[in-house]
Chains A and B, each alone.
Chain A
């Protein structure tokens, strides 16, 4: 394995700028790694080697000519397959979109292309981002590089596993209820869900519009900050996009790395601990708290009583919005079309047959729940009430942020579970998201970074939540904690990961 691929994106960028390596060398090293391990890990649905090398060669040429480029130019990146890419198959992990070649780019992809980051390919995910294990992909499950018997988290298991298996230095994820942070936690990588509206949703295949948010999937906090600044910012094509520029995150991460947190108040959320939280997860969390205290932070406990209802509200709002967002998958304009096996071939029956055959179990389950929650007679009791719970959760956040600058919790209650363990128990599966969901409901930013290994030698995630538009705070505190932990471990957590079998 080339040492190049163990470098962080920031380190790679520095070497590229200094002319110590070329983008073609870096990109090829990653493509070689993908060829060596992805048959077993299955992080990628599609690898776009040719396009990546073309971009890399262009970057090398421009750099040789002395053209000013984006700092990350030439650093390869992987994109979750829920993000639309012009001319490259985009499936969202569904059979419904097998072979669909979009005619346009998502805004964040336009930004990546403008900055000239070679795109390595499209990463695997739970179908339409519905799941916490990447077991619900129509393109096979992705394996956790720490233990191939275990899930890599979901829905963005492909992006997280690609980072953990050194198949990419950067990746794009999307997070509706934890799909960036939970895979980050269980694979020992960093994942950030920015403030709602910080990154354009234009070109993300929507699950739940009021909850979806794209974000960075990386191996270091600084890399997330770099990527966040690259893909963030106002987009006139997304009405819910924040009007202000998305900057200051890199500076915040660099500031945090100095490990001085004096004057910072950190709030532990009482409701996100205790029953259901694995001992090893709680222990690593507590140790991280001590490190933060050691850097001068004041630790307080805060209570957010409505968080106990967040899961229920989420499992009404998300499927309701998803049931409508996924109505367009009907076999009429794009993607799969299936004719009914018997009876007349009418548009109505073809739609039903297509959706019956094209959607997997979890997607059907959520569309049915959502349709039920919105249907007449139930709207007020379900969707309407859930939107009110959302208000309560926002109020809890507001009150908590009076007492603390950031809130913290374990990212997920447990480490990665084994394949199939929760497949037949949707409620148990949904519980994975209990600590990540409140952020989506309130729109606040959240980050997960590695906090060590649990008793089962699997990674544990540490979550930092900041107020709306205060993403910089979590970069600062995350970078501080990361630096302190790596000092303690003598290197990144991923250096403790087992070597993968290579072809």
Chain B
């Protein structure tokens, strides 16, 4: 599977070919129970403890639809400007796989709950790109396999697998785009921005925590190339389960480069599923996807149709929260950021973090400084998303509060942040535990200042004669002696007082 793969330089590839995308996003709904049974859903439980006969596919078990999940699906549909079906059904998608307990997935086939919508996505330069949504439908997640005994730990060569069905049956909504055309060389950015915008919507709707790193949101990315925007669609590949925004961008880029090389060589792209490798930023061939794949869909006879009344749909429409794009425009006004600042904040994935920090009592500018400064650097160094940095908005607000109360200064603040990032606790506790609080007792400070001045009589003379230049050296020495814990402004005041007396 490894071996040398020919790639064409990205700019060259998009100069020659027109990329077309198709994106399928699965979002795990944050309901308390599963889609078709009342097994409790909680992240990180002991294996096979969040199950019922239904989610284990035991003989005799029957599904019952989680009404809350239907409500969430309708909300998502409305937020994506979709039509909501007057009536729709579940269907069985039949295929054998050990992590699918019934050997069919209960999904929706020709009657999705939401269809014909669109999502306007803001790109980095502030322009809007419209992504057409074909459908959003409800389905259930599969269990989780762990492969044991293989040399690589990957699926091939494993000797056996262990299955945990805690995830089996968790409600999913799958959102399918129409072919995304016209993105041109910005296809990777469009893909990323689309999924990021969806993620923001899921959170705003409070239908999912939408945490990429937990697999709450998973994207399958279809990419194809064609000679010109007028040519018919080319053969596509589907890269499965791309689980971070950065990877989405890279995976599109990689597939464009790879397919261009194949087409340049006069060969044909194979329609197949490909797997994304986070470690080396490449995709590899999975199973060849043939049209002969025969899922034998038929209406789920154990469930009755879902027919959301128009009243219900309108009620839900009324409850829709302010969507992220609207909110951003509002926040620009409230926070006083410039358009460029706001765009940078959004691109860095810092909007919500700043919002929460502000909500915890910090001024917007200060919140932005932390998240776009120290913390953005930290995320970059670790190659993680800003939201994955191990500090919470509440902790940043606490830290800023300590500075504003002059209990620590900026420099100590950064030191405290490092300790927070290292998992040592909350800012205030760290300041107390390490004795980092500013020395505000003038008596103690004066002792240090007197000692310093006594040691440098020449400087004292210079200052007395009106040459203020060397005072910095005195202040620096005092700060050094107090290990930086003194308020530099107060030190200056006291030094001048002493010299001039």
B95 and chain A: residue at smallest CB distance = A327
Candidates A84, A237, A347, A374; contact of B296 at CB < 8 Å? A374
Q: How far is the CA of A333 from the CA of B296 in the complex (A)?
A: 23
Candidates A100, A103, A333, A383; contact of B57 at CB < 8 Å? A333
Q: Is the CB of B53 within 8 A of A104?
A: yes
Chain A neighbourhood of B303, CB < 8 A: 239-240
Q: Is the CB of A332 within 8 A of B59?
A: no
Enumerate A321-347 residues with CB–CB distance to B below 8 Å: 321, 323-324, 327-330, 332-334, 347
Q: How far is the CA of A332 from the CA of B145 in the complex (A)?
A: 13
Q: How far is the CA of A371 from the CA of B92 in the complex (A)?
A: 13
| A327 and B104 in contact, given A202-B62, A203-B60, A236-B64 (Cβ under 8 angstroms) | yes
B36 and chain A: residue at smallest CB distance = A239
Candidates A84, A236, A379; contact of B59 at CB < 8 Å? A84
| A324 and B60 in contact, given A239-B65, A239-B304 (Cβ under 8 angstroms) | no
Chain A neighbourhood of B62, CB < 8 A: 201-202, 206, 237-239
Candidates B59, B161, B297, B302; contact of A328 at CB < 8 Å? B59
| A320 and B298 in contact, given A203-B60, A328-B59, A332-B98 (Cβ under 8 angstroms) | yes
| A202 and B60 in contact, given A239-B303, A320-B298, A324-B296 (Cβ under 8 angstroms) | yes
A sample of 20 cross-chain residue pairs with beta-carbon separation below 8 angstroms, ordered by A number, consists of A83-B60, A90-B59, A92-B59, A100-B59, A102-B53, A102-B58, A103-B58, A202-B60, A206-B59, A206-B62, A206-B302, A210-B301, A239-B62, A239-B302, A240-B301, A321-B298, A327-B103, A328-B102, A332-B163, A379-B297
Q: How far is the CA of A320 from the CA of B96 in the complex (A)?
A: 16
Q: Looking at B53, B60, B62, B102, which has the most chain A CB atoms within 10 Å of its CB? A: B60
| A206 and B96 in contact, given A239-B304, A327-B104, A374-B298 (Cβ under 8 angstroms) | no
Q: Looking at B64, B163, B297, B298, which has the most chain A CB atoms within 10 Å of its CB? A: B298
B64 and chain A: residue at smallest CB distance = A239
Candidates B94, B104, B161, B298; contact of A347 at CB < 8 Å? B161
Q: Is the CB of A205 within 8 A of B96?
A: no
Chain A neighbourhood of B292, CB < 8 A: 376
A106 and chain B: residue at smallest CB distance = B60
Interface: B125 (CB within 8 A): no
Interface: B307 (CB within 8 A): no
13 A-B pairs besides A90-B59, A321-B301 with CB distance below 8 A are A103-B58, A206-B59, A209-B302, A239-B304, A240-B304, A327-B102, A328-B103, A330-B98, A333-B57, A334-B58, A334-B59, A347-B161, A379-B296
Enumerate B30-65 residues with CB–CB distance to A below 8 Å: 53, 56-65
Q: Looking at A327, A371, A374, which has the most chain B CB atoms within 10 Å of its CB? A: A327
Candidates B56, B103, B294, B302; contact of A375 at CB < 8 Å? B294
- Interface of B, secondary structure class, is loop
Interface: B308 (CB within 8 A): no
Q: Is the CB of A333 within 8 A of B101?
A: yes
B293 and chain A: residue at smallest CB distance = A376
Q: Is the CB of B298 within 8 A of A102?
A: no
Enumerate B285-314 residues with CB–CB distance to A below 8 Å: 292, 294, 296-298, 301-304
A416: shortest Cβ distance to chain B, in Å? 29
B299 and chain A: residue at smallest CB distance = A387
Chain B neighbourhood of A92, CB < 8 A: 59
A23: shortest Cβ distance to chain B, in Å? 28
Candidates A84, A323, A333, A374; contact of B60 at CB < 8 Å? A84
Candidates B59, B297, B301; contact of A97 at CB < 8 Å? B59
Q: How far is the CA of A251 from the CA of B436 in the complex (A)?
A: 85
Q: How far is the CA of A95 from the CA of B302 in the complex (A)?
A: 26
Q: How far is the CA of A367 from the CA of B160 in the complex (A)?
A: 28
Chain A neighbourhood of B304, CB < 8 A: 239-240
Enumerate A208-250 residues with CB–CB distance to B below 8 Å: 208-210, 236-240
Q: How far is the CA of A375 from the CA of B58 in the complex (A)?
A: 25
Q: How many interface residues does A have (CB within 8 Å)?
A: 44
Chain A neighbourhood of B94, CB < 8 A: 323-324, 327, 374
A203 and chain B: residue at smallest CB distance = B60
Chain A neighbourhood of B65, CB < 8 A: 239
Q: Is the CB of B96 within 8 A of A330?
A: yes
Candidates B59, B101, B103, B301; contact of A209 at CB < 8 Å? B301
Q: Looking at A84, A236, A328, which has the most chain B CB atoms within 10 Å of its CB? A: A328
Chain B neighbourhood of A484, CB < 8 A: none
Chain B neighbourhood of A192, CB < 8 A: none
Q: How far is the CA of A331 from the CA of B245 in the complex (A)?
A: 39
A200 and chain B: residue at smallest CB distance = B62
Q: How far is the CA of A211 from the CA of B103 in the complex (A)?
A: 21
Interface: A351 (CB within 8 A): yes
Chain B window 68-108, contacts with chain A (Cβ cutoff 8 Å), 1 for yes, 0 for no: 00000000000000000000000010101010011110000
Interface: A130 (CB within 8 A): no
Q: Looking at B58, B296, B302, which has the most chain A CB atoms within 10 Å of its CB? A: B296
Chain A window 458-475, contacts with chain B (Cβ cutoff 8 Å), 1 for yes, 0 for no: 000000000000000000
B147: shortest Cβ distance to chain A, in Å? 11
Chain B neighbourhood of A237, CB < 8 A: 62, 64
Chain A neighbourhood of B98, CB < 8 A: 330, 332, 347
A355 and chain B: residue at smallest CB distance = B96
B243: shortest Cβ distance to chain A, in Å? 25
Interface: A68 (CB within 8 A): no
Candidates A202, A321, A330; contact of B61 at CB < 8 Å? A202
Question: What 6 A-B pairs are tightest by C-beta distance, nearest first?
Answer: A327-B103, A209-B301, A374-B296, A84-B60, A210-B301, A203-B60
Q: How far is the CA of A206 from the CA of B298 in the complex (A)?
A: 16
Chain A neighbourhood of B59, CB < 8 A: 84, 90, 92, 97, 100, 102, 205-206, 328-329, 334
Chain A neighbourhood of B64, CB < 8 A: 236-239
Enumerate B163-197 residues with CB–CB distance to A below 8 Å: 163
Interface: A494 (CB within 8 A): no
Q: How far is the CA of A379 from the CA of B91 in the complex (A)?
A: 14
Interface: A3 (CB within 8 A): no
Chain B neighbourhood of A238, CB < 8 A: 62, 64
A239: shortest Cβ distance to chain B, in Å? 5
Chain A neighbourhood of B297, CB < 8 A: 374, 379
Chain A neighbourhood of B302, CB < 8 A: 206, 209, 239-240
Candidates A102, A239, A375; contact of B63 at CB < 8 Å? A239
B145 and chain A: residue at smallest CB distance = A347
Q: Is the CB of A324 within 8 A of B53?
A: no
Chain B neighbourhood of A239, CB < 8 A: 62-65, 302-304
Chain B window 262-306, contacts with chain A (Cβ cutoff 8 Å), 1 for yes, 0 for no: 000000000000000000000000000000101011100111100
B99 and chain A: residue at smallest CB distance = A332
A334: shortest Cβ distance to chain B, in Å? 7
Interface: A275 (CB within 8 A): no
B475: shortest Cβ distance to chain A, in Å? 73
A38: shortest Cβ distance to chain B, in Å? 25
Chain B neighbourhood of A499, CB < 8 A: none
A256: shortest Cβ distance to chain B, in Å? 33
Q: How far is the CA of A100 from the CA of B304 in the complex (A)?
A: 30
Chain B neighbourhood of A201, CB < 8 A: 62
Q: How far is the CA of A206 from the CA of B61 in the complex (A)?
A: 9
Q: How far is the CA of A100 from the CA of B59 in the complex (A)?
A: 10
